[in-house]
Amino acid sequence: MNASLISFVLRRVLTVLPVLVGATVFTFVVMRLLPADPAAFLASGPGMGAADIAALRAKLGLDRSLPVQFGLYAWQLLHGDFGHSFVTGNPVALDLLQRLPASLELACGGLLIAAVIGMPLGIAAALRPGSLFDTACRALAVLGGALPGFVIGVFLIYLCYFKLSWAPEPTGQIDAALSAPRIVTGFLVIDSLLAGNMTAFASALGRMVLPSLTMALFALAPVMRMTRAAMVTALASDYIRSSRALGLPNRLVLRYALENAGAPLITMFGLIFSYMLGANVVVEKVFAWPGIGAYALDGLQAADYSAVQGFILVVAAVFAAVNLLVDLLCGWADPRIPRAA
Amino acid sequence: MQRRDVLLGSAAGAASAFLPRLQTRAEAASLDTLRELAEAGPNSRDPHGAGVASPSLGTFTNIYDRLINFGHTEIAPGIFKYDYTKFTGELAESFEVLDDGKRLRFHLRQSATFHDGSPVTAADVKWSFDRGVSLPGSKYQLATGSLTDPAQFVVVDPATFEIHLPRGDRYTLPNLALTFASILNSKLIQSHATASDPWGADWLRDNEAGGGAYRITNWQAGQRVTYTRFDDWKSGPAPALRQISFEVVPTAESRVAALEKGDADIALQLPPQDIAHIAADPHVHVVSIPVTNTFRFIAFDTQTAPFTDARVRQAIAYALPFEDILQAAVYGHGTPLFGAKSAQPKNAAFPQPYPYNTEIARARSLLAAAGHGRGFSTTLSYNVADNDTAEPIAILVQQALAPLNINVQIEKISAADWATRLTAKTVPFFIESSSAWFNDPDYFFRIFFQGNWRWNFGSFNNPDLAKLLTAARWETDPAKYDALMEKAVGIVFQQLPILPLWQPTFEAGFKPGLTNFIYYIHGQVDYRPLRWA
Amino acid sequence: MKYGSSALLLALFLALAIAGPAVAPYNPLAYALADRLQPPSLHHWFGTDALGRDVFSRTLAAARTDLPAAAAAVILSSLIGVSVGAACGYLGGAIDRWVGRVVDVMMAFPLFVVAVALVAALGNSLTNVVLATAVINLPFYIRLVRAEIAARRQLGYVMAARLAGCGHGYIIGRVLIPNIAPIIAVQISLNLGWAVLNTSGLSFIGLGVRPPTPEWGALVSDGAQYLLTGQWWVALGPSLVLVLAVFAFTLIGDTAHDLFSPRSAR
């Protein structure tokens, strides 16, 4: 690694800080705008009355002024303490750490499927813009993205699990009867392979299929559309035109064009990945997927502020990390892009 | 090239894992394991904790012992229901009621140990009760059985424990059989207590410290809990199931699908619209048990106009299509609490059917008499989490009241906000369901018809009723007690602070062959007696 | 062909929204328990739901809820987004940097969860669903318009307008925004589809319109729970219409894009 790369990364990391601070403030404020009182929610035990609610408020620190509460929250955050979740009874940091890999795995799976199907279609469409094939591809992709994820998910469960028995049970990441592999990456599919446990691998991979497919349908339209756009631009560039004029074989022209379209494609995948991470909330719910999205939703329904705040912060951090990665990859894919912040 | 190989490789892997049918739970089932699916999971291991979710009550039942347990009676082959009037020893080998019920003596099983191997002593029992009456999550419930002060709990010798009461109380023994009276490993918890947390509440929430029939061997909050049999358990016959996997599957459709495919052994919280269809499936055994301590109702805030006038509340009751509502909301799966023939209570039981039927003419005249002949506008609220049942009710109520010119707006309130709104009494007209731990009418009334708290859903305040309840609390003559409570029931029939609709049915789907299920008040599964036939 | 079909679809949906209640065969709100969960037939084209309501009539009536709601959300976010984005792109400087930061923060949020939190904070009503949808779409407009305006502000015709003595407001409103209108139009039509999907996602977790108002997302999510028991029609009819609506909006976006940008329409 050379010095300019390191300083580039450092500078980029510094630009992430305002995003994280902004996210912290915003989520804190929005959560405090919620009319729900966590103490009243918690005081659901038999006979708990106003005095107990007041005591709970004091215990949770909700009786202090907002700036003081925010100060305490920020101070705890700096020490890696995200607070405690009422719903799970665990520290939020622990919950998020355990659940984040599941969400990332699902988003990766969805993106992979979308890329495998969407990119070739997008490239093919770009080669013949305006053709019937082009129109059909676009229409198909739009149709896939036009249905809410939960409908697709429930429909896939009905068809592939209930009726046809193709897919395993839609309840979580791995068959509960199997012992999960030792956590290395947190991605069960990879961890089970690393552990050489093929039964666990088959189970984990099988359970990935339906939820990933649901996510992929959603991502298919943007992947195809942007691949097509990037390729159309690349194919129209002077350098491809000259290659063509020089009579280079089509295969080679296509390869040059793809290399040329690399940076926009990487940027697109980064964007879609971050978006999927926030958007897979409902899909996680349908497939009982132990991810952070379902966790945040449960938290919102239970006035579990720390859980929701933690979730939003983590997604913002992942978003920033993905952006950084995208910048680095773009620099690698397209040396013309200067490394300036 | 390498990148492409990876892509192709994993795509092929996905296809091969997808196409051949994977071995399912149905094929791998063995006779000493169980897989249970539920809508939500436990969130605490502290039986005295605040904000404990109801699945936790199942956890407490299985990982802790009580001194005594409820008896049970068989209601269908292999299906039992707890009997609230009978008690059997659990951690206590035997017990005696002395001095007219002022002294309860318990003889502990001498060989019993906690999961860490240390013996269970009377000192642990006392400490557990001291803790129970000190923490807000349990102290109010225990107080309903006159258990309030640590001085009441006496260690006679390491194997003998006594509870002293100011007077004999019929609610003491039932309270001792609830999870609030679980016996905890005092030394273990005390070793984790701090100055600011003398009862170790923060620690116990995330850890177990008991000697029950099962130990928790895996706890993934909100996802799954694995229970493994504690082989040294002495407080009852050795459980048949060695390992139980409790899994959280939030969508009802997925639970039903897994049940019908034979992948789950027990599925809880079945949606009413699916029951008929599941019951017809030979691979599933549906257990339906009428729940006697829970009721579904519509509440009026009796302190907010126009519901301050009993005639308005009665008019609404006379306008509702009760039978349709029961069918629409739960497909008839409930015991009606409407349509009694006589305005006089049939007996002292509660809840019992109220004397209201659909009589529009009567509704009109009552409304006119109350000065609302031209109708009014109001908002009918319910909890979003309760949507499946409450939405049909709300829609039918809205349409039934329209002819009376009562213009009803339906308002769904988020689950997080619901408790806040009910506590602050800012919902004048709403749909809710609630339960009491015991079935005695005076117990029910004290929770639901008096007091300045959330559970008094109608904000009802009636001095006559208060007198009757005070008298009934300590009445030991059954005839006199019934007379008092019949009067009390008559008052709420007529005053109608809440309008009961029905009592729900506990419904669970079992894989055929699973037997010895005991239903308890909390509707969670007691794994200890369960076995495969 | 594309222009024709998208125009046709648009006309169809507008007609639905205007004439829906008049042509609906049944009262979309009237329940009839005797007819609950009936499969599609000549009387009930889309079948009936769990309360015996006619799904076809409800789907028609829902156009009156969904189309105005989506339109309102999109108009709101595009109006604010375009003004803020244009001001930032044109003026640059400190304001631009600060707004840019805020937009960066917003883009980093899991937007669906933010929408859920906003609806929970503001109260559960259609108006607030519209507001939440508008808020989560805002950063896209600001970012888009800001970039497009910044790229154009030094161009010859802008310079010419400035030299001719036109004020900043005139240049932004009359010169620059009309110039990027096609780009905004594409974003708007895409957003209309998203807005409908967002509303339906909120309905799935119980937020959104007050019952018994019919709304596509609520119809679909109500219907989804009957799929497993074989009553596929409760979800099917509304799903098809929802897909068609989102499809139509996207197609209109594409058409607008082609119409306005001569280069790609070659």
Tokens coding A190: 């990879």
A-chain residues near B451 (CB < 8 A): 49
Distance from CA of A176 to the nearest CA of B (A): 7
Considering A78, A106, A127, which residue would you say is the last residue of a domain?
A: A78
Per the confidence metrics, is the pTM higher than 0.90? no
**A242: in domain:** yes
* Percent with pLDDT over 70 in chain B: 94
pLDDT at A305: 85
Give the ipTM of the model, two decimals please: 0.84
**Residues A198 and A308 reside in one and the same domain:** yes
How many structural domains are present in chain C?
1
pLDDT at residue B415 is higher than 80: yes
Q: Do B253 and C224 touch (CB under 8 A)?
A: yes
Alpha-carbon gap, residue B107 to B121, rounded angstroms = 10
pLDDT at B178: 95
pLDDT at B4: 34
Better-scored residue on pLDDT, C250 or B62 = B62
Determine the residue of chain A that is closest to C110 in CA distance: A278
The residue among B298, B278, B296 whose CA lies nearest residue B287 is B278
Residue C27 identity: N
pLDDT at A334: 65
Q: Which of C120, C225, C228 sits opposite B414 (nearest CB)?
A: C120
Mean of the pLDDT values across residues A238-267?
78
Q: Does B242 touch chain A (CB under 8 A)?
A: no
Q: Where are the beta strands (DSSP E) in chain C?
A: none
List the single range of A5-14, A196-205, A308-317, C49-58 with lowest mean pLDDT.
A5-14
Most confident of B354-358, C61-65, C148-152: B354-358
Domain with CATH 3.10.105.10 in chain B: 294-503
Alpha-carbon gap, residue C76 to C130, rounded angstroms = 9
Q: Does A299 touch chain C (CB under 8 A)?
A: no
pLDDT at B99: 92
pLDDT at residue B281 is higher than 50: yes
Q: Tens digits of per-residue pLDDT, B249-269?
A: 888 888 988 898 888 999 998
Q: Which of C33, C224, C227 sits opposite B328 (nearest CB)?
A: C33
DSSP string, A98-148: HHHHHHHHHHHHHHHHHHHHHHHHHHHHHHSTTSHHHHHHHHHHHHHHTS-
pLDDT at A340: 44
* Residue A97, CA distances (Å) to A31, A90, A288, B90, B248 in order: 22, 11, 18, 40, 19
Tokens coding C160: 């010419």
pLDDT at B130: 97
Mean pLDDT of chain B: 90
Alpha-carbon gap, residue A113 to A115, rounded angstroms = 5
The residue among C71, C188, C94 whose CA lies nearest residue C141 is C188
Compute, in degrees rounded to 10, the torsion defined by CA atoms B181, B183, B189, B190.
Answer: 90
User: 443-472 in B: which are within 8 Å (CB) of A?
Assistant: 447, 451-455
Most confident of A148-162, B100-114, C10-24, C106-120: B100-114
Distance from CA of A335 to the nearest CA of C (A): 23
Cis peptide leading into B271, omega within 30 of 0? no
**Residues A248 and A214 reside in one and the same domain:** yes
Please give the interface size between B and C, counted as residue pairs whose CB atoms are below 8 Å apart: 62
C22: domain CATH number is 1.10.3720.10
Please give the interface size between A and C, counted as residue pairs whose CB atoms are below 8 Å apart: 129
**Residues A270 and A218 reside in one and the same domain:** yes
DSSP string, B161-191: EEEE-SS--TTHHHHHTSGGG-B--HHHHHT
pLDDT at residue A236 is higher than 90: no
DSSP structural state of residue A91: B
The residue among B137, B115, B140, B144 whose CA lies nearest residue B201 is B137
B29 — pLDDT class (breaks 50, 70, 90): low
Better-scored residue on pLDDT, B493 or C221 = B493
**A87: in domain:** no
Mean of the pLDDT values across residues A104-116?
91
Mean of the pLDDT values across residues A21-50?
81
- Write the burial class of residue B230 (CB in 10 Å: 0-12 exposed, 13-18 middle, 19+ buried): buried
How many structural domains are present in chain A?
2
Mean of the pLDDT values across residues C214-225?
86
List the single range of A248-262, B50-64, C249-263 with lowest mean pLDDT.
C249-263
**Residues A38 and A108 reside in one and the same domain:** no
Determine the residue of chain B that is closest to C203 in CA distance: B384
Q: Which domain holds residue C100?
A: 2-265
**A114: in domain:** yes
Q: Which helix (H) or strand (E) holds A189?
A: helix A188-194
Three-state SS string over C191-246 comes to: HHHHHHHHHHHHHHCCCCCCCCCCCHHHHHHHHHCCCCCCCCHHHHHHHHHHHHHH
**A282: in domain:** yes
Residues 6+ apart with CB under 8 A from C79: none
String of b and e for B157-170 (b: at least 16 CB within 10 Å)? eebebbbebeebbb
Mean pLDDT of chain A: 82
C-chain residues near B273 (CB < 8 A): 50, 225-226, 229
C-chain residues near A31 (CB < 8 A): 117
Mean of the pLDDT values across residues B47-74?
93
Say which residue the tokens 């013949």 belong to: A128
CATH class of segment(s) B40-212: alpha beta
Mean of the pLDDT values across residues B29-38?
85
* Residue B101, CA distances (Å) to B36, B124, B309, B472, C202 in order: 40, 23, 44, 18, 56
Among C37, C204, C229, most B C-beta atoms within 10 A, so best to mutate, is: C229
Mean of the pLDDT values across residues B428-435?
94
For B262: left if phi > 0, alpha if psi spans -120 to 50, otherwise beta; the answer is left
Q: Tens digits of per-residue pLDDT, C165-186?
A: 888 888 888 778 888 887 888 7
DSSP structural state of residue B400: H
pLDDT at B2: 37
Alpha-carbon gap, residue C104 to B191, rounded angstroms = 49
pLDDT at B71: 95
Mean of the pLDDT values across residues A227-241?
80
Residues 6+ apart with CB under 8 A from A159: none
Please tell me which chains touch A, using 3 or more CB pairs under 8 Å as the contact test.
B, C
**Residues A66 and A191 reside in one and the same domain:** no
Q: Do C227 and A147 touch (CB under 8 A)?
A: no
C264 — pLDDT class (breaks 50, 70, 90): very low
**Residues A106 and A74 reside in one and the same domain:** no
* Residue A31, CA distances (Å) to A293, B89, B476, C113, C120 in order: 16, 48, 52, 12, 10
* Residue C82, CA distances (Å) to C89, C108, C140, C203 in order: 10, 20, 10, 29
Phi, psi dihedrals of residue B531, rounded to the nearest 5°: -155, 165
**Residues A125 and A254 reside in one and the same domain:** yes
A145: domain CATH number is 1.10.3720.10
Q: Which domain holds residue A314?
A: 98-333
Q: Tens digits of per-residue pLDDT, A121-139?
A: 888 888 887 788 888 887 7
* Residue A227, CA distances (Å) to A115, A224, A265 in order: 9, 5, 7
CATH of domain B294-503: 3.10.105.10
Distance from CA of C30 to the nearest CA of B (A): 8
The residue among A263, A321, A271 whose CA lies nearest residue A15 is A321
pLDDT at B10: 36
Q: Which of A48, A95, A302 sits opposite B140 (nearest CB)?
A: A48
Tokens coding A271: 């964007």
pLDDT at residue B6 is higher than 70: no
* Residue A29, CA distances (Å) to A32, A34, B406, C83, C117 in order: 5, 9, 39, 25, 11
* Percent with pLDDT over 70 in chain C: 94
What's the first-to-final CA gap in chain B, in angstroms? 58
Number of other residues whose CB lies within 10 A of the CB of residue C160: 11
The residue among C194, C103, C168 whose CA lies nearest residue C141 is C103
Domain B1-39+213-291+505-533 belongs in CATH node 3.40.50.2300 = no
pLDDT at residue B124 is higher than 90: yes
Determine the residue of chain A that is closest to C232 in CA distance: A155
